[in-house]
Structure 1
Amino acid sequence: MKNILLCTTGATPQVITETLYALYTQGKTYPDELYVITTENAKHMLVDGLFTRGHLQALYDEYGMPAVKFDESHIWLIEDEQGKPVFDAKGEEDQSYMANFITRKVAELTADANTAIHASIAGGRKTMAFYMGYAMSLLGREQDSLSHVFVNDQFEFVPDFYYPTKTDNFIVGKTDYSLLNTKDAVVTLAEIPFVRMRKKFEDDLISQIEEASFTKTVARMNAADQVASVQLSNNALTLSVLGIDIKLTAKELALYQYISRENQKKVLVDRCFIDSIEPSMAFLSAYSLMKGDQRVYKTFGLCDEMDWRDKNLSGLKPMEKEFIQPIRSVINGKLRKALPVEVYEKVQIQSKRVKGGNEYWISQDITVTDL
């Protein structure tokens, strides 16, 4: 069986040498191969520290450790939806890319029954460590393990420390006036117990994870035991279902909220609709509670938000019959992208042509609440 060490790293590539050192000196299973998940900006620190400055080879030489199969092709850069590397994973969308990428890579590695994965969550951002742990919980098998590596406080985050040396080796500590002897460092590897959920789900679900997003996987698993409900947040501009937050614009969220509040969660766009200002009033009642584009008020014949707040509504116009459909399409597109099909079918805004116009509705089988 091939033993694979899978690590996440950020600005501290030292976690790689620390983990290898701990596995070897503590007599734990030593890896045959090493793969690292990181971001574009962190890769150069990883390459510089391990290869250019030679700390990885120095570790092998000092302890007589067998070299692990690892080169730049084993460094996996987190990618966005277009396959472009994520620079530093600080953006909100980057968190989704990170989750999806890590989940796919763990799915790929665990698909081979002849491998044993040792995943480390010691490096990278906290969210990166969380997603690695969660992916292992979803996909990990009996032969797989999860760990974190620690070093005593004075050596933590010291750029020149990579592993405890056998002989005296002095480096600059966290402050310029302090010197540390790397011989005195203590590295501890702690294995982390985790719940293995893989066997609780059908094989066809596991086979879909490599292609599915992290959010779709979570929603699909949650949906196994839960009835779908939707939460709307005016402050965050999100529609949340089964623990998945989907960003909408204020106009999109207000439309979903408007339809959900109508009788039977249904809107009939017919002659009566386009002759009445009641739909406009209902929509703007929701929209005005959010931070949205002021031009939306002009769509309804008002100058700006102040007209609405001051109840200067003499110019208020009925909602045009073409208003709902394009917004509905965008909302459904976002829901379809983020959710598994069976959940999307429940929470989408549905439509059909009827005599005299069009009907839009949200399933009465779900509850819609405002956060």
Structure 2
Amino acid sequence: MKTVLLATTGMSPAVLTETVWALAREKPAVVPDEVYVVTTVSGAAKLKELLFGPDAAWESLRKNILGKKAGCDNRLVFDPADIVVARKKLGGKKIALDALTDVADHTAFADTLCSKLWEFTSQPGTRVIASLAGGYKTMSALMLSAMQLLANDGDRCTHVLVSGGLDAPGLGFFFPTTKAQAGCVQLIDIPLIPLRRWFDRHLGHKPPPSYADLVARADSATRPSLEVGPYPAIAINGARQNLACRPYTYMRFFAECAKEGRMPFTGLDDIATALAVWEPRDFNLADLDPSAYKMNKHLSELRKKLPALAPFLPRR
């Protein structure tokens, strides 16, 4: 299985090398095959300066992890071409972002993240590790949000913690080279709940045009829907069901109350009071006992027969 590391960075590229070093120290070791970074113009310049400049910190990291095989090992592939600078549309042109200063900048950055994540998560046999350690806080938040929507089972989100003063500005620390330093770098897994499985069929095979579109698709696909038609028909998430008179009456009652803004109810007694005076215009009311005891019994039976109705029924 191929492993891709996707990171966000700002003006401290060391979070990338620290993350890679920490992954390689896991048991079993995780050594990404490919590495990509989404950042700004200034962030890209800093990456090129500190990782690919005269001191070549990235190549030093590769040799530290891969040893003598670094020259022929195809893992940890990362060069300036793998640095993606987010861009936004302005006056019919795409302008590279030098910083995230307004809503439009953050929207453009989110769109770029989604595009890259879609590319990697759609590849069979590919595991994605997303690093949240670098850049603006909103970069990390957007990365986590996009991962929750696009990640597959087995993908990860990580953060790296550096202690012992090794993260001090100007120190030039990129990864541990001594045992003492090794104890100062910790990789933290951020809990990730992949939601893609719940709306994957709504995504299709084309990448979403934007982060906002991705969120809208997920919301539409995962939001439960209930339509109550003429007796005896209802539709749960688009699937038609025919109900007997009594359960249909309950669902008709709750649907009309929700439409009128009368829900949620505070308890069964509150429901019973409202049900006692309810008079549907185009439906003959079933013979219902509005007592709390009977209602609880009927609603429990309805939950058992149609579990998909649970989101539309009062909580117990």
1:55-94 to 2 correspondence within 5 Å? 55-65=57-67, 66=70, 68-81=76-89, 82-94=93-105
| Contact residue 62 and residue 166 of structure 1 kept, 8 A | no
Q: Does 1:219 align with 2:213?
A: no
Partner of 2:35: 34
Partner of 1:201: helix, strand, or coil? helix
Partner of 1:137: 148
| Contact residue 8 and residue 38 of structure 1 kept, 8 A | yes
| Contact residue 38 and residue 124 of structure 1 kept, 8 A | yes
Partner of 1:119: 130
Partner of 1:116: helix, strand, or coil? strand
Cα gap change, 1:131 to 1:166, in 2 (>3 Å): same
Partner of 2:24: 24
Q: Distance in 2 between matches of 1:217 and 1:58?
A: 39
Q: Does 1:165 align with 2:165?
A: no
| Contact residue 103 and residue 131 of structure 1 kept, 8 A | no
Unaligned runs of 5+ in 2: 226-316
Partner of 1:165: helix, strand, or coil? coil
Q: Distance in 1 between matches of 2:181 and 2:2?
A: 32
Percent of matched pairs sharing the same residue: 31
Report how many residues are paired. Answer: 212
1:278-293 to 2 correspondence within 5 Å? none
1:155-178 Cα shifts (integer Å, max 9, x gaps): 2243411111138xxxxxxxxxxx
Partner of 1:223: helix, strand, or coil? helix
Cα gap change, 1:184 to 1:148, in 2 (>3 Å): closer
Cα gap change, 1:143 to 1:151, in 2 (>3 Å): same
| Contact residue 12 and residue 157 of structure 1 kept, 8 A | no
Cα gap change, 1:13 to 1:24, in 2 (>3 Å): same
Partner of 1:106: 117
Q: Distance in 2 between matches of 1:68 and 1:184?
A: 20
Partner of 2:88: helix, strand, or coil? coil
Q: Does 1:45 align with 2:70?
A: no
1:229-277 Cα shifts (integer Å, max 9, x gaps): xxxxxxxxxxxxxxxxxxxxxxxxxxxxxxxxxxxxxxxxxxxxxxxxx
| Contact residue 106 and residue 136 of structure 1 kept, 8 A | yes
1:103 CA drift (Å): 1.1
Letter in structure 2 aligned against 1:54: A
Q: Distance in 1 between matches of 2:86 and 2:181?
A: 35
Cα gap change, 1:218 to 1:162, in 2 (>3 Å): same
Q: Distance in 2 between matches of 1:83 and 1:42?
A: 18
Partner of 2:145: helix, strand, or coil? helix
1:192 CA drift (Å): 1.6
Letter in structure 2 aligned against 1:147: T
Cα gap change, 1:200 to 1:63, in 2 (>3 Å): closer
Letter in structure 2 aligned against 1:161: F
Q: Distance in 2 between matches of 1:183 and 1:30?
A: 20
Partner of 2:195: 197
Partner of 1:143: helix, strand, or coil? coil
1:24 CA drift (Å): 1.1
1:224-235 to 2 correspondence within 5 Å? 224=221, 225=223
1:92 CA drift (Å): 2.5
Partner of 2:108: 97
Unaligned runs of 5+ in 1: 168-181, 228-371
Cα gap change, 1:206 to 1:9, in 2 (>3 Å): farther
Shift >3 Å, 4+ stretches: 62-67, 182-185
Q: Distance in 1 between matches of 2:37 and 2:173?
A: 19
Letter in structure 2 aligned against 1:13: P
Partner of 1:11: 11
Q: Distance in 2 between matches of 1:125 and 1:226?
A: 35
Partner of 2:30: helix, strand, or coil? coil
Cα gap change, 1:157 to 1:222, in 2 (>3 Å): farther
1:71-126 Cα shifts (integer Å, max 9, x gaps): 11111111113433111122331011011111111011111012111111111111
| Contact residue 149 and residue 218 of structure 2 kept, 8 A | no
Partner of 2:167: 156
